[in-house]
Homo-oligomer: A and B are copies of this chain.
Amino acid sequence: MNNLLQEKLDQAVSILQEKGVAAWLTFVRETSQVHDPCLDLILGLELTWQSALIIGRDGQRIAIVGFFDTDNVRNTGGWTEVIGYHQSLREPLLDALKRLDPAQIAINTSENDPAADGLTHGLYLVLTGLLAGTPYADRLVSAEEIIGALRGRKSPGEIARIRRAIATTEEMFAALTPRLRPGLTEIEIAALLQADLAARGLEPAWSREHCPIVNAGPDSTPGHAAPAHHRTQRGHLLHLDFGVKQDGFVSDLQRMWYFLDEGESGPPDDVRRAWDACWAALEAGRAALKPGVMGWEVDAAARSALVAAGYPEYQHGLGHHVGRTAHDGSTILGPRWERYGRSPYGVIEPANVMTLELGVAVPNRGYIGLEEDVLVTETGAEYLSTPQKELWCI
Contact = CB atoms under 8 A, between A and B. Distances in A.
Considering residues A34, A118, A223, which has the most beta carbons from chain B within 10 angstroms of its beta carbon? A34
Contacts of A225: 68, 71-72
A89 B339 contact: yes
Nearest to A75: B226
Interface in A323-355: 325-327, 329, 337-339, 341
B33 A34 contact: no
A69 B121 contact: no
A29 interface: yes
Given A86-B315, A115-B33, A327-B30, A126 B221 contact: no
A358 to B, nearest CB: 14
B29 A114 contact: yes
Contacts of A121: 109, 117, 119-121, 123-124
Interface in A94-139: 109-126, 129
A223 B125 contact: no
Interface in A283-327: 315-316, 325-327
Interface stretch (A45-53, A170-178, A269-277, A370-378): A45-53
A86 B110 CA distance: 22
Nearest to A324: B33
A209 B34 CA distance: 18
A69 B116 CA distance: 23
A325 B325 CA distance: 22
A243 B339 CA distance: 40
Contact of A224 (B48, B119, B123, B327): B48
A212 interface: no
A35 B32 contact: no
Report copies per complex.
Answer: 2
Contact of A119 (B33, B120, B206): B120
A152 to B, nearest CB: 14
B33 A71 contact: no
A348 to B, nearest CB: 20
Contact of A32 (B48, B325, B338): B325
Interface string A73-98: 00100000000011111100000000
A207 interface: yes
A69 B209 CA distance: 13
Nearest to A36: B34
Given A126-B341, A339-B89, A327 B117 contact: no
A329 B87 contact: no
A339 B50 contact: yes
Top 9 A-B pairs, shortest CB-CB distance: A68-B223, A88-B338, A117-B122, A30-B114, A121-B124, A87-B337, A109-B121, A71-B225, A68-B224
30 contacts: A29-B114, A33-B37, A33-B327, A34-B35, A34-B37, A34-B115, A34-B118, A45-B209, A46-B210, A48-B327, A50-B339, A66-B339, A68-B224, A68-B225, A68-B316, A69-B223, A71-B221, A71-B224, A72-B210, A85-B339, A87-B337, A88-B337, A109-B121, A109-B122, A110-B122, A113-B122, A114-B122, A117-B120, A120-B121, A121-B121
Interface of A: 29-30, 32-37, 45-46, 48-50, 66-69, 71-72, 75, 85-90, 109-126, 129, 206-207, 209-210, 221-226, 315-316, 325-327, 329, 337-339, 341
Given A32-B326, A121-B124, 12 more contacts: A29-B114, A30-B329, A32-B207, A50-B339, A72-B225, A75-B226, A90-B338, A117-B122, A118-B120, A119-B120, A121-B121, A126-B341
